Structure 1
């Protein structure tokens, strides 16, 4: 079935059918309408659960990527720091560390922006 919607006109149609058919069909009409309402609620709940699951998966992936980026940054920073520190290139060392920090901060800030 397509997108199940229960609208005011559906309730009006139910009441009109009830008047035409009489009290003998009340239970069947109400049951049919109740089934339709239940399907509509199930669809909305399912869609909400799907969106929540997708959002949680994306957050988990972003957290893993942030961890990997941090670990790779530290791994890259060690030989850079040793090389530049031993050779006395302290300005280059400072620039390298500022760059590494900025990359990590920039990525972390995009993750926070996505949460809003």
Structure 2
């Protein structure tokens, strides 16, 4: 999906034409329908990009491991790289930010938009702080193991 996605532009034009034909009483339903289609296209694009990024990281990790480099150790929760979780949350947050912003702005105007973004930022900050704490604990545990030897 590019900045000027022709299919999404056609959908928007069709939605605007339908609004002209049907009148303002169907505006909410038309907007919801368009936002669902836009969110689905965005979700598909995000999923495609995340898969490509994960494949690149796995390929790079395999190259390092096969060329005598340090093998990547999984974290206790089974995920190889904590930055993948951060990237995933950031991508998902942005994917949901678009329809949530529209819903907040349509229903409660500026206060709704501000509350929506405060929630999105809050979730990302909380996740980042939790991840940082987990990483520090893992590093401390590694240092203790090294000291025991």
Using the size of structure 2 for normalisation, the TM-score is 0.41
Distance in 1 separating the partners of 2:7 and 2:36: 11
Matched, 1:16 2:17: yes
Segments of structure 1 that go 5 or more residues without pairing to the other structure are: 69-116
Match of 1:89 in 2: none
Residue 8 (structure 1) shift:
1.8
CA distance in 1, matches of 2:61, 2:16: 49
C-alpha displacement at 1:43, in angstroms? 0.8
Q: Which runs of 5+ in 2 are unaligned?
A: 1-5, 70-149
Report what 1:45 is aligned to.
Answer: 46
Higher Cα Rg, which structure: 1
User: Contact 1:6–1:36 at 8 Å: present in 2 too?
Assistant: no
Counterpart in 2 of 1:29?
Answer: 30
SS at the partner of 2:12?
Answer: helix
Q: Which of structure 1's runs of 4+ aligned residues deviate more than 2 A? A: none
| Aligned alpha-carbon RMSD (Å) | 1.6
Which of the pair is proportionally richer in helix? 1
TM-score, length-scaled by structure 1: 0.52
How many angstroms apart in 2 are the aligned matches of 1:46 and 1:6?
Answer: 18
Question: 2: CA distance between counterparts of 1:30 and 1:18?
Answer: 9
**Structure 1 residue 24: deviation in Å?**
1.0
8 Å contact from structure 2 (residues 19, 26) kept in 1? yes
Count of equivalent residues: 64
